[in-house]
């Protein structure tokens, strides 16, 4: 066996290649590109009164009423039937939509609020930490969470604190 490993090392060296140590071949974690981008018109009372219209870009959500949320997408296995958090019901139940086609989890890195924003809070007294975008054929729901855990089944240290609905522009 030792001769086989030694021979493999010599063969790779002769070809100008070297064998990588076992620990160096681990895959790199890559943050996926957002799949939900575009312009959306506020349709729910909360979206119309608090956020206004939405422009969703790769790492920024910009709102017509003076909010800007910065933060990238986080890989998560979310579906319409996934729990929001431990014992909090499903995403489909929370949004009232049974036709969710795509879901995306974003971690909030920074919230910017304009000085003249009419209602300077998206999450009551808490700070938003995660956003879930749930897109259906004619509706986009933005669910705002606070807490240290990302939303999903079994998360006990996260809480839904706002739902805002939009339609494609």
Report the residue count for the chain. 169
What percent of the chain shows pLDDT beyond 90? Answer: 52
The model's pLDDT over 42-68, given as tens digits with 9 standing for 90+, comes to: 999 999 999 999 999 989 999 999 889
Distance CA 88, CA 7 (A): 59
Distance CA 90, CA 29 (A): 28
Residue 82 pLDDT exceeds 70: yes
Distance CA 102, CA 128 (A): 21
Confidence of residue 9 (pLDDT cuts 50, 70, 90): very low
CA angle 72, 152, 47 (to 5 degrees): 60
Angular region, 140: left φ>0, alpha ψ -120 to 50, beta rest: beta
pTM value is: 0.78
State the sign of the Cα–Cα–Cα–Cα dihedral 150, 81, 104, 141. Answer: negative
Mean pLDDT within 65-81 = 90
Mean pLDDT within 6-27 = 42
Residue 19 pLDDT exceeds 90: no
The H or E element spanning position 66 is: none
Distance CA 131, CA 152 (A): 12
The model's pLDDT over 87-124, given as tens digits with 9 standing for 90+, comes to: 888 999 999 888 899 999 999 999 998 887 777 788 88
Confidence of residue 13 (pLDDT cuts 50, 70, 90): very low
- The half-sphere exposure of 55 on its side-chain side, counting CA atoms within 13 A, is 9
């Amino acid at each position: 066996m030792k001769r086989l490993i030694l021979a493999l090392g010599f063969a790779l060296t002769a070809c100008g290649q070297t064998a990588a140590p076992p620990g160096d071949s681990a895959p790199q974690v890559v943050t996926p590109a957002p799949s939900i981008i575009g312009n959306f018109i506020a349709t729910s009372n909360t979206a119309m009164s608090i956020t206004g219209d939405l422009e969703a870009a790769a790492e920024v959500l910009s709102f017509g009423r003076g909010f800007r949320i910065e933060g990238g997408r986080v890989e998560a296995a979310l579906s319409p039937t996934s729990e929001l958090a431990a014992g909090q019901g499903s995403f489909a139940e929370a949004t009232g939509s049974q036709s969710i086609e795509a879901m995306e989890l974003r971690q909030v890195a920074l919230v910017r609020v304009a000085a003249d924003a009419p209602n300077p809070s998206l999450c009551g007294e808490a700070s938003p930490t995660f956003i879930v975008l749930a897109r259906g054929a004619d509706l986009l729901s933005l669910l705002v969470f606070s807490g240290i855990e990302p939303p999903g089944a079994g998360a006990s240290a996260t809480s839904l604190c706002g739902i805002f609905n939009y339609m494609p522009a």
